[in-house]
Chain A
């Protein structure tokens, strides 16, 4: 896809430029970079990975930057206050890293036209507000292939958070990946209505295991499900970060969000005065998503197969949502050979054909 290769190129080029040029650039004033996290850094998932991105910025620019982060910020009025405080205290670029921070970010950005804002996973932009996100579905497709080959009960469990397009897209991609290698595979989906609640996540994993699922996907942030899979002797897929430490035997592979290259590139652009409001949606090819720690107990041919799918997606040769593809109700979604465009992906609110159950309304 042209859009994707463009993103890949720019991110790669900017990141490279940053590393080369950073030592030479002399800045009188430190660039202040702010981060707003929805969870605690210690969630070992979503917010933890964003914090790894902050550390990458620190590492890349050393004492040319000053970083600040605020964790556990509820989505809503508190996010607006925190973001505003960061802007007021002279932060030059502020990353707000949860969907619910979208309107607060837009509101604050209006009041501080000189400050640059970056909102993760939203769709509203402004002259000084850029958006960015990762094509998680690419990783889910690859891990779906692994899960489809590795399941013995032909039952894959999925812990889902909220029925927003991003989550629905992930379920569909994982299912299509599994289905492509195992026509008998069935998905069992549990909606937990939270991004981070180790207790609920563990309960959901337990319920799925009891129903015969032997590989568990999650779209929530804590490693609770991974720990449970380890205890029950079944497998799980790591989400957002590498959860190997929590499931040394259980984790088949992890899809790891790597925000570092993007953050470094954007901070660099802000330093150079080349920052513009952009919309970045990078995946495996852009280096923003990696498939990590593919377990050695996975047979070599499965690993090879998954690696080929990964490489094809990264190189733009294959798109996880390629027709012919029907919606759950049998209505056509994509014609033979047709690839889902970003618009279709962004608003996906239906299961693809073959997934049982209905989306919570």
Chain B
């Protein structure tokens, strides 16, 4: 019979392999699902998971969709490792977009290479400011940051809506709730001519590299891990919990804010009330899909983006309902969590013994 035996140490190989297993199982379950729906299962899987990888434009779109997921995921993972649960990245994303976007709108008649970096810095500060609220409440009053950060998401979304209905509204826009379009200097440069792949993706790659250096090569990264895995040990070692909470929330806020700015100054090109479409929440899945490791998050973000883009392609080509995408994302997380058992335990085949 099959038996699970606990491992002495988590298996490194399994940590890398289980996400792969999860993807394979998702594809297999998808095949069954499509067969039951009466659609050609192999064509559907091809359209969702593989066809986007064969076209330049779709690959470029993959980076567009993955950029905010990777940026936010990289920041969140740091906090998650320390046991700081920032669930409100969506709000920090909006605050960042507002701050960066306001700079663009205030300077809309000026031009210059200095504007874009200024917008990015403003965006990061905006996200940090929004994340500072739960950090303060947690360190000062011991308020649960899961609740406070989540509640602030709705505040941020309403703030964005109020501002684009009021002071930031396009004066030539017939009262419709949208800002004016950003001018040339406020739009992120495009990487590949004819596509929408923008410089934000480079920033995301940079964030991944810095996050890796920080977490794996810096004392603070080590402190974060100790804080998460053994809070008591961290206290004995004299690490300040408050400092770690502040650092994690501010960093994840800054990255989410940057993501908001690159989204507004990238593919959107203006401030609109519909800017937040859940990247901050999807990035939580991405962070866990990537095992809270920067490189894993890079791959996880790209994979999650693939399910969106592939899901649209499948809708267009095969008239599959849009819920397909959600089902795939759900299955992916489900199988990943289920496979987690293999990291801490091994499966053994034990022959039945006859007891005498």
The residues of A with any CB-CB pair to B shorter than 8 Å are 40, 68-78, 80-82, 85-86, 88-89, 99-100, 103, 123, 162-165, 193, 346-349, 360-361
Contact = CB atoms under 8 A, between A and B. Distances in A.
B174 A77 contact: no
A57 B210 CA distance: 54
Leading 10 A-B pairs by shortest Cβ distance? A77-B267, A72-B322, A75-B274, A74-B277, A349-B175, A361-B166, A71-B322, A347-B174, A70-B315, A347-B175
27 contacts: A68-B316, A68-B319, A70-B312, A70-B316, A70-B322, A72-B322, A72-B323, A73-B322, A74-B274, A74-B277, A75-B272, A76-B275, A77-B266, A77-B268, A78-B277, A80-B196, A85-B316, A99-B176, A100-B272, A103-B269, A163-B165, A164-B176, A165-B176, A193-B158, A193-B161, A347-B174, A360-B162
B133 interface: no
Nearest to B263: A77
Interface string B243-274: 00000000000000000000100111110111
Nearest to B275: A76
Contact of A103 (B162, B270, B315): B270
A139 B62 CA distance: 44
Nearest to A193: B161
B273 A77 contact: no
A78 B275 CA distance: 11
Nearest to A74: B277
Contact of B272 (A76, A82, A346): A76
Nearest to B175: A349
Contacts of A78: 65, 277, 308, 312
Nearest to B194: A111
B177 A164 contact: yes
B199 interface: no
A82 B64 CA distance: 13
A325 to B, nearest CB: 18
Interface in B155-203: 158, 161-162, 165-166, 174-178, 181, 196
Contacts, number: 87
Contacts of B153: none
Interface in B59-104: 61, 64-65
Contacts of B269: 103
B175 A165 contact: yes
Contacts of A81: 61, 64, 196, 309, 312
A163 B169 CA distance: 12
A85 B313 contact: yes
Contacts of B272: 75-76, 100
A77 B279 CA distance: 13
A103 B176 contact: no
B321 A77 contact: no
Nearest to B163: A361
A76 B312 contact: no
Given A86-B316, A361-B162, 9 more contacts: A70-B322, A77-B64, A81-B196, A81-B309, A85-B316, A100-B274, A103-B270, A349-B175, A360-B165
A36 B174 CA distance: 24
B264 to A, nearest CB: 10
Contacts of A68: 316, 319
B239 to A, nearest CB: 41
A76 B273 contact: no
Contacts of B176: 99, 123, 164-165
B352 to A, nearest CB: 51
Nearest to B278: A74
Interface in B35-80: 57, 61, 64-65
A347 B173 CA distance: 9
A72 B311 CA distance: 11
B235 to A, nearest CB: 43
Contacts of A71: 315, 321-322
Nearest to A37: B322
B57 to A, nearest CB: 8
Contacts of A72: 322-323
Contacts of B174: 123, 165, 346-347
Nearest to A82: B312
Contacts of A162: 161, 165, 177, 273
Nearest to A38: B274
Contacts of B161: 162, 193
Nearest to B321: A71
Nearest to B277: A74
A77 B195 CA distance: 12
Nearest to A100: B274
B268 A361 contact: no
Nearest to B158: A193
A165 B173 CA distance: 11
Contacts of A40: 321-323
A258 B168 CA distance: 35
Contacts of A80: 196, 267
A163 B178 CA distance: 12
B62 to A, nearest CB: 10
A165 B162 CA distance: 15
A354 to B, nearest CB: 21
A361 B161 CA distance: 8
Contacts of A361: 162, 165-166
A55 B296 CA distance: 45
B274 A76 contact: yes
Contacts of B319: 68-69
A322 B334 CA distance: 59
Contacts of B322: 40, 70-73
